Structure 1
Amino acid sequence: MARQMEQKQGDELVDPIAQAPGFDDTESIIGFWGHPLHAMSVAFPVALTFCCFGADLLYWWSGEVFWARAAVWAAGTAFLFGLAAGATGTMELLMVPGIRIRSAAWTHFVIAVLLLSLLGANWGYRLQGYEAAILPYGILLSGFNVLVVMVTGWHGGKLVFDYRLGTSKGS
């Protein structure tokens, strides 16, 4: 049966996923005036994740309470904006057939859910005492969040730039 799926048409193999109905339907449907919301909203949690780690490093270096307070705000805002970005990305994943059928989109989804869990844990850990939470676990968690956001962002960028998923084709 597997051989039947790999039958040759001329000199090329047939990809059963590419033959599925809706495979080429990858245009974003969650947006304003042709601008995809997920692509616009991911910049905020990404930037705030880096800001949280930067504020942790500055607190470690200076001992200034301002940086501990800035880190808790950055962690919380990154989590909340991440929830919004995740909601728009999940709607795209589930509603657009050409996105839903690709395993790379599901991989990005799973890594992004992991990131949201880590961002929530980072924020929740700091709420009990933002100054005491930074050393050593807060800064380690923020550093790990930066690594996971880089992997998630790279993977999401690859989906957009290489596969043209979740973009607007224009009129």
Structure 2
Amino acid sequence: MAQEMRQARVDELVDPIAQHPGYDATESKIALWGHPLHAMTVAFPVALTFCAFGADALYLLSGETFWARAGVWAAGTAFLFGLAAGATGTMELLMVRGIRIRAPAWTHFVIAVLLLSLLGANWGYRIQGYEAAVLPYGILLSGFNVLMVMATGWHGGKLVFDYRLGTSKGS
């Protein structure tokens, strides 16, 4: 009897977010010919973050100045392309009601803003003297940025693949 009453209460529960008008409106509005711009631009800062860490590791192993210089370029372009990816993602978050209403979208946004600030710090730290910046803090920043990229990408991928947020539905 008690279990039946508990089940009846569970059956009565309604998710107020899922009942909100526009909950299913998750299609990308920041797109070029139906292709979401955020999904297209995010690949560059992700790859360049890994490149900055790789350049630091290669500088550590070889001592070649080239790798320290490559690290500053990779860190800088990761930050600049990250600004573009962040702008398209922010516009998507603010313009699409079905994305804006979900808490995981805001979690991804907060982590991505933190990542963007760390990418900028990594680049800024290297501008004055790229060789001296690699050890010890440059490689530590680059390594931490790689971990942050993985966390941000995991959350972003979950939004796309599990919730179908910010995608094109073919309409």
TM-score category, normalised to shorter length? over 0.9
Superposed structure 1 runs of 4+ greater than 6 Å apart: none
Deviation digits for residues 66-121 of structure 1 (CA, Å, limit 9, x no counterpart): 00000000000000000000000000000000000000000000000000000000
Cα distance 1:10–1:50, how it changes in 2: closer, same or farther (>3 A)? closer
Q: Secondary structure at the match of 1:11?
A: helix
Taking the aligned partners of 1:9 and 1:94, their CA distance within structure 2 comes to: 35
Which residue in 2 is equivalent to 1:80? 80
Q: Which has the higher helix share?
A: 2
Cα distance 1:153–1:10, how it changes in 2: closer, same or farther (>3 A)? closer
Taking the aligned partners of 1:149 and 1:98, their CA distance within structure 2 comes to: 24
Which residue in 1 is equivalent to 2:114? 114
Which residue in 2 is equivalent to 1:56? 56
Structure 1: stretches of 5+ with no match in the other structure: 1-7
Structure 2 counterparts to residues 1-171 of structure 1, below 5 A: 11-171=11-171
Work out the number of aligned pairs and report it: 164
Shift of 1:10: 9.0
Shift of 1:134: 0.1
Deviation digits for residues 21-62 of structure 1 (CA, Å, limit 9, x no counterpart): 111000001010000000010000000000000000000000
Which amino acid in the other structure matches residue 112 of structure 1?
Answer: A
Shift of 1:11: 2.7
Taking the aligned partners of 1:151 and 1:20, their CA distance within structure 2 comes to: 29
Taking the aligned partners of 2:9 and 2:101, their CA distance within structure 1 comes to: 23
Cα distance 1:66–1:19, how it changes in 2: closer, same or farther (>3 A)? same
Structure 2: stretches of 5+ with no match in the other structure: 1-7
Taking the aligned partners of 2:12 and 2:81, their CA distance within structure 1 comes to: 45
Taking the aligned partners of 2:12 and 2:134, their CA distance within structure 1 comes to: 56
Q: What's the TM-score, normalizing by structure 1?
A: 0.94
Which residue in 2 is equivalent to 1:5? none
How large is the RMSD of aligned CA atoms in angstroms?
1.2
